[in-house]
Amino acid sequence: MQDALIRKLESFEELSDADRAALRAFVPRVRNVPARTDIIAEGDVPGDVHLILDGYACRYKMLPDGQRQIMAFFVPGDFCDLNVFILDEMDHSIGTVSPCKTVEIPRAAIEEITAHHPQVTRALMWCALVDGAILREWLVNIGSRQADQRIAHLFCELLLRLEAVGRVTDNSYAFPFTQTDVADTMGLSDVQVSRTLRELRALGLIHLKHRVLTILDVDQLKAYCGFNPNYLHLRNARWSSRRQVPWLSSVQGV
Amino acid sequence: MTGQDNVEPLVVLHPISVDTRSPDQVGMLVLVNGLLVAVLVRLDAPWHDRPGAWHMEAGLGRLAGVRAPVFDTLKDATRWVRQRLRG
């Protein structure tokens, strides 16, 4: 069940058998959360850390005029609130998009595993840093890309993130988001989203049916929106040799 | 000053064709007291959930960046514009 998490962490750091065993012992409370349900709401006191094992969730904020802004999507293997649990009060909400299987990990368990498994700690830090990087990219997306490129960019990102946790088959993945979800994520209207999806279909770049999105031409779609996966920091897309930090070894050797 | 608050703004619609890269081309410029504040477009493409409804394609001034709902009629749209500009 924790395979998605282990796969995700291993895409950032090499884990030992002991690390993997510690992660497998993680299980505690598995919860099935229906679609469109808050896992934790704005104003709540965060306690446990929530890990998505199956399904999709999102981080969002409601504005006084009823407008919703989605700031992040969570896919299997993602922590919803890895660092948030340190805060006193949630400043945003986390809710499911599709039915989710989540794991609630008590803060103490995170503290325990990070105290004894430095590679896991590093991998968790990677996760938190990549979350930040994704947020930056989304800022760029909303601020500087046209509507059709924004949505194409999101499709490319989800392809890579889901691929990293084994949820892509033949360039197809589950896409339970409504047009309104996409609109609330991209700062667009439902109508603009609807037109853009039509256009991407007409260009032969995507196929979307029965809540499954198929990317028909990955290279073309990436070129279409200028997608650069560097911000996802995935092992297979990375400069692994540069991560050896030889300067650090030499300092330690002195 | 008090008098000005009580005066309903004059909303005028002016037909215009709009390029939306879709079959939705029939549009209306919305002018309030002579100033352009919004461009509405009728949803004529067959795939829309509410064909014939009106979508605010662009807003200017106090409507810039506002995500408006889709309006069943132009009357609904002008009512919404009045409310937004009054608030």
Q: Residue A39 in contact with residue A94, Cβ under 8 Å? A: yes
CB contact under 8 A, B70 and A190: yes
Residues A159 and A110 placed together within one structural domain of the fold: no
- Say whether both A107 and A183 belong to one domain: no
Distance CA A116, CA A143 (A): 41
HEC per residue, chain B:
CHHHHHCCCCEEEEEEECCCCCCCCEEEEEEECCEEEEEEEECCCCCCCCCCCEEEEEECHHHCCCCCCCECCHHHHHHHHHHHHHC
Residue B8 has pLDDT above 90, yes or no: no
Largest alpha-carbon pair distance within chain A? Answer: 63
- Specify whether A109 is located in the same domain as A157: no
pLDDT of residue A198: 93
Q: Which residues of A touch B42 (CB under 8 A)?
A: none
- Provide the CATH number for the domain around residue A33: 2.60.120.10
- Name residue, tokens 């998605």: A4
Burial (CB count within 10 angstroms: exposed 0-12, middle 13-18, buried 19+), residue A199? middle
Taking contacts as CB-CB distances below 8 angstroms, the residues of chain A near B21 are 195, 199
A187–B68 CB contact, under 8 Å: no
To test the contact with chain A by mutation, choose from B41, B55, B67, B72 the residue with the greatest count of A C-beta atoms within 10 A, namely B67
pLDDT in tens, A15-37: 999 998 888 877 668 899 999 99
CB of B25 within 8 Å of a chain A CB? The answer is no
Whole-number pLDDT of residue A188: 93
Contacts of A191 in chain B (CB under 8 A): 24, 43, 48, 55, 70
From chain A, pick out residues whose CB is under 8 angstroms from the CB of B70: 189-191
In a domain, A59, yes or no: yes
A35-61 per-position pLDDT tens digit? 999 999 999 988 888 989 999 999 999
| Tens-place pLDDT, residues B28-43 | 999 999 999 999 999 9
Q: Are residues A41 and A93 in the same domain?
A: yes
B-chain CB neighbours of A188 within 8 Å are 67
Nearest by CB to residue A198, choosing from B47, B49, B56, is B47
The last residue of a domain, from among A100, A117, A134: A117
Put simply, the answer to whether B48 touches A194 (Cβ < 8 Å) is yes
Q: Residue B67 is nearest to which of A189, A194, A195, comparing CB atoms?
A: A189
Helices (H), A26-163: 107-116, 118-144, 147-163
Interface membership of B83 toward A (CB under 8 Å):
no
- pLDDT in the model for residue A28: 64
Query: Count of domains in chain A?
Result: 2
Domain-embedded: residue A17: yes
Smallest CA–CA distance, residue B24 to chain A, in Å, is 10
Chain-centre distance for alpha carbon A133: 11
* Per-chain mean pLDDT for chain B: 90
For chain A, say whether B68 makes contact (Cβ under 8 Å): yes
Same domain flag for A1 and A112: yes
Does residue A126 form part of some domain? no
Same domain (yes/no): A106, A158 = no
What ipTM was reported for this prediction? 0.84
In angstroms, rounded to a whole number, what is the distance separating the alpha carbons of residues A12 and A125? 9
Separation CA A31–CA A43 (nearest Å):
21
Q: A64 is in which domain, residue-wise?
A: 1-117
Q: What is the C-alpha separation between A189 and A197, in angstroms, rounded?
A: 12
How many contacts, defined by CB atoms under 8 Å, are there between A and B?
A: 28
Rg (CA), chain A: 19
* pLDDT above 50 (res A151): yes
Q: Do A187 and B67 touch (CB under 8 A)?
A: yes
